[in-house]
Each structure stands twice: as structure tokens, then as C-alpha cells.
Structure 1
Amino acid sequence: MKQIVSTGLLNSKIEDKTESVTAADFNVRDINGKSISTQDFRSKVVFINFWASWCPPCRAEFPSIQKIYEKYKDNQNVEFLTINLDDDVNAGKKFLEKNKYSIPFWVSNGNIPQEIYNGSLPTTVILDKNGKIRLKHTGMADYSKDSFYQQLEKLIIE
């Protein structure tokens, strides 16, 4: 699966804002129980990824998500919500530790709006600074390509 991801065939594209819809806000919590809402991130670009440790496509795209996180983790205009959907939260934590991934670990804290997540893993969503959905990609993709970074950069300066 990692080889398929690396071909670029499954790359996703950030949409023009004329085609975007405003997402309903939802809450997530971190490993310490701190709860936040997507509404807290208005004025930031939000990279959201729904994943589970048992999901082969999720695991295949994780290296690219780690790379994009490392590139933008210090950018004040970008926020990362990598939301684990394992039944056992410890399985997700162990997966991250074993692979030395440093991405933020979040879990759902209530209902997730259908326009954001419809039950397929992995799902990646990017919200612009106004909370509009600019990308929704179901299935694995490579987010570590320069072309994707360029699209994200444009979104950051909008």
C-alpha cells in the first residue's frame, strides 16, 4: 500500500473556495482529557485525519501525514487534528509510539458531522480559515508531495 501511495495516483487536491461548504463544528479531546472544538481554530487552516491503528490504508499514509506535520507544526496558521477511531484508545497510542510518530493524538468527543466524516477510513479533511471544507478525501493519499504543500501554502495566505 505504501508503494501505491507513493505513485501519486491517489493524491488529493484542495478545492477552490467557490465549491466549498462550511462544516458544522465538532469536539475532540486529547490524551489528557482536554476538549477543543473546531470552532476554536477559526483563522487557521485545519488538517483533520480520521484513522485507526488496525486500518492498513491509514498506516500506509501515516508517513506522509507525519512529514506534513513536521513541516507545518510550528506554523501558527495551521492546526492538526489526527483523530483516532480505535475502539481501544491504547492501540492507537501504541501504534504512534512504536512508529515514533509525533503527530497530535485526538479522539472524538461526541458526534462528528456527516459532511466531515461518513465512516470510511482513512478520511482527510482540510478546513480553511473560515471553517469551510476545502478538501475531503476518503482513502489513502500521499500528503508529502510538493504539489500538495504548494496548495496548502496558498490556503494559508488566503
Structure 2
Amino acid sequence: MKFIRKNIFNALFIIILLVIVFMPDAKAFFIKGLMEVGFYKPNVEKPKESIAGLNGIQFKDVKGNLIDLGDLKGKVIFLNFWATWCPPCRAEMPSINKLYTQFKDDKDIVFIFADADGNFVKSTKFMADRKYAMPVYKVESDIPEKVFAGALPTTVIFDKQGRLSFRHEGVANYADKKIVDFINKLKSSN
């Protein structure tokens, strides 16, 4: 009887592990659970770095409008690189949506959610299916490696002077009070 019970437990464990490995939504659900218990907290104590100017770093929205980061001086910029197939991206989306909802009407903050694949059909469907209101963009220019080196998800925040104030590769809980306070601090500084 012990042998059969042990085999059943091992089989269930392997099945659960395979589901987490091969199903993006299951993996995202698992990662999201880890975020909610305190793992994956973003570190906002990073020093400000200079980028050789944000002019020319461009993104295009679904309607074809171009946005150049150099034109956004005087605003805090929250920039997130993600993909629909990326489980860590999916896991952090609810927290990013909560942050976006909190600040979306603030004229001093700009949110850019850059689909790394640049596939508006998939990314807008992804957002609509999950009832996220976040605007989707695609990259329209070269991006400096200090900003985005290819890891998904990557989130960067620029202060009002265009300095890189925060950069995080990997999943994080962006609804965390530290991030909200950090953005409010950047917003109120000159």
C-alpha cells in the first residue's frame, strides 16, 4: 500500500511540474503566487545613470502614432518590455495594470508597454482578453543596451530629466508600495 501511495504522489508531482513547465499561464500563475508572498520585490535604491540622450528612442502605438522618449522630458517614463508568450511577463502584468490604473490620468507620467515581438494583433488581444487597459507599443528604433538588453520582462523608469532611475530585468511586483512611493518621489522632484 505504501508503494502505490508513493507512486501516485510522484506521478502527481511530475504532472504538476510538467504543467508548470509547458503551459505559460500555469507558470505565470505560479510566479504570480510567489510575487504575492514577497518574492520578486523590485529594488528601487539604484543610483541614477545617464543615457546619451533619449532622443531617437521611438515607439509606435496601435494607431500608428510615434512617441520619441526625447520629447517626454519633464515627465516620468515607465517603460516595460514584455511578450505575450513570456510567463514572467504574464505574472507581473496584474501588478503593472494596478500601477497603471493608479497613475494613468497623471499628466506627469507616461506609460509605454513595448511588445518585444511587435505583434499588435496578439498583444492587443492579450490585453483585451485580460481586461487590461494598458496601451501597447512596438519598438521603432534602436534601443541602447543600458535600457534594454533583450531579457524579458525588463522595466525601466526615467526621471523628469531623462535619467535612468530604475532598471529591472525579470519579474517584479509593481503594485508594491515602494514602487508607488518611488514614482511619486520622481514625479515631485525637479
TM over 0.5: yes
The residue number in structure 2 matching 1:13 is: 43
Show CA shifts across 1:38-82 (max 9, x none).
111111110000000000000000000100000000111111011
Does 2:170 align with 1:139? yes
Q: Secondary structure at the match of 2:152?
A: coil
1:124 aligns with 2:161: no
TM-score w.r.t. length of structure 1? 0.93
Q: 1:54, 1:86 within 8 Å by CA — same for their partners in 2? A: no
Larger RCO (CA within 8 A; separation ≥ 6) = 1
Q: Max radius of gyration: which structure?
A: 2
Aligned twin of 2:24: none
More displaced 10-residue stretch of structure 1: 49-58 or 108-117? 108-117
Matched, 1:2 2:52: no
Work out whether 1:27 is the aligned partner of 2:58.
yes
Relative to the length of structure 2, the TM-score reads: 0.78
Aligned partner of 2:15 in structure 1 is none
Task: Work out whether residues 2 and 60 of structure 1, in 8 Å CA contact, stay in contact via their aligned partners in 2.
Answer: yes
The answer to which structure has the higher strand fraction is: 1
Offset at 1:7?
2.3
Q: Deviations over 1:70-97 (max 9, x none)?
A: 0000111111011011253311111111
Q: Does structure 2 conserve the Cα–Cα contact (< 8 Å) formed by 1:53 and 1:92?
A: yes
My pick for the range that moved more, 142-151 or 122-131, is 142-151
**Contact 1:77/1:156, CA 8 A, preserved across alignment:** yes
- CA distance in 2 between partners of 1:114 and 1:134 (Å): 15
Relative to structure 2, which stretch is displaced further, 82-91 or 39-48? 82-91
Give the 4+ runs in structure 1 shifted more than 6 A. Answer: none
SS in 2 for 1:64: helix
Tell me the distance in 1 between the aligned counterparts of 2:37 and 2:163: 29
Letter in 1 for 2:119: D
SS at match of 1:33: coil
Report what 2:106 is aligned to: 75
1:153 corresponds in structure 2 to 184
One-letter amino acid of the counterpart of residue 48, structure 2 = S
RMSD: 1.3
Structure 1 or 2: larger helix share? 2
Which consecutive unaligned segments of at least 5 residues does structure 1 have? none
Q: Which residue of 2 aligns with 1:40?
A: 71
Q: Does 1:106 align with 2:137?
A: yes
Tell me by how many angstroms 1:125 deviates: 0.2
Q: Which amino acid aligns with 1:21?
A: E
Counterparts of 2:179 and 2:33 in 1: how far apart (Å)?
18
- Percent identity for Structure 1 against Structure 2: 35
